[in-house]
Structure 1
Amino acid sequence: MKKLAVIYWSGTGNTEQMAVAVADGAKSNAGVSVELIAVNNANKNSVIEADAVALGCPSMGDEVLEETEMEPFVTTLQAAELTGKPLALFGSYGWGDGQWMRDWEERMKGLGAQLVADGLIVQESPDEQGLGQCKELGAKLAQAAVK
């Protein structure tokens, strides 16, 4: 069975709702075991040992990743852990145009990750449509993990 890790940081609960929906979507694939991990409980091994990874973080401040937990975690990741690994990115935002997600996508591509879709962003709290998109993203990531 393939292993999928959904690692996230959430300040208000919006990105956590998204993470749960991504994990639920991934669980629809019987060939995948899914672990939902708050970033403060994650480490490099959470990524190394997974066949596919989803990372979730809201936009903070001037459209950047959360700086005390998620940014330091992402900084530890290197090409050795990510090259060729299926990856999905997601997060919520309150303002801006999604520049933080575009920057994050480029950063992860630069480390060799294989993005399974464009980063998924939802404004504020995810509604039913947003949660459905999260489930679709999780299912797409799980499908990539078992290939």
Structure 2
Amino acid sequence: MGKTAIVYWSGTGNTEEMAKAIQAGTREAGAEAQLFEVEQFSPEEMGSYDGFFFGCPAMGDEVLEESSFEPFFALAEKKLAGVPVALFGSYGWGGGAWMEAWAERTREAGAKLFSDGLIVENGPTDEDLKACEALGKSFAEACGK
């Protein structure tokens, strides 16, 4: 795999912390991974990348963040057919239904979804960050760096 983009939205810093750990794991595997807050990345740039990590916490009634991330993803999902994708995010309540729905939506877009999404309750612990690093590394290795 050539270049991977890690695109996320984080309100409290939890999802950002996860994104940085994923980036570290991806780089440990020898892959190039660039980190972007969702406002810094446009769906028009997607053709320059070979794979994606998308990160967003559960919001409100277990949905994606509605003002920035959801509009971005609605455009991005139209470009995911055949593309390796991994999802991640944190939640404070509800148990992860938003990730299940997001994973299904991503599959329906035709993406090559890597796992069913990595979720962390509240702030990531050291163990959670290790899981994020492992996700980054295994994604890079499975996608051929």
Match of residue 58 from structure 1: 57
**Shift, 1:27, TM fit:** 0.4
What CA distance in whole angstroms lies between the structure 2 residues aligned with 1:47 and 1:93?
27
- Post-superposition CA distance 1:84-123 (Å, at most 9, x none): 1111000000000201000000000001111111201000
Structure 2 portions without partners, runs of 5+? none
**Which of 79, 97, 100 does residue 99 from structure 1 map onto?**
97
Q: TM-score, normalised by structure 2?
A: 0.95
Say if 1:117 and 1:137, in contact at 8 Å, map to a contact too. Answer: no
The within-5 A match list for 1:93-132 is 93-132=91-130
Q: What is the RMSD computed on CA atoms of the aligned residues?
A: 1.3
AA at the equivalent of 1:28: E
Q: TM-score, normalised by structure 1?
A: 0.94
Match of residue 41 from structure 2: 42
**Shift, 1:47, TM fit:** 2.5
Match of residue 3 from structure 2: 3
Match of residue 71 from structure 1: 70
* Helix, strand or coil at the partner of 2:29: coil
Name the % identity. Answer: 46
Is the alpha carbon distance of 1:89 and 1:111 closer, same or farther for their aligned partners in structure 2, counting shifts above 3 Å?
Answer: same
- Misfit runs of 4+, over 3 Å: none
Match of residue 143 from structure 1: 141
* Helix, strand or coil at the partner of 1:89: strand
Match of residue 14 from structure 1: 14
Say if 1:9 and 1:70, in contact at 8 Å, map to a contact too. Answer: yes
**Shift, 1:33, TM fit:** 1.1
**Shift, 1:44, TM fit:** 0.9
Say if 1:5 and 1:46, in contact at 8 Å, map to a contact too. Answer: no
Say if 2:22 and 2:133, in contact at 8 Å, map to a contact too. Answer: yes
Say if 1:59 and 1:91, in contact at 8 Å, map to a contact too. Answer: yes
**Shift, 1:52, TM fit:** 0.8
* Helix, strand or coil at the partner of 1:65: coil
Say if 2:15 and 2:56, in contact at 8 Å, map to a contact too. Answer: yes
Match of residue 88 from structure 1: 86
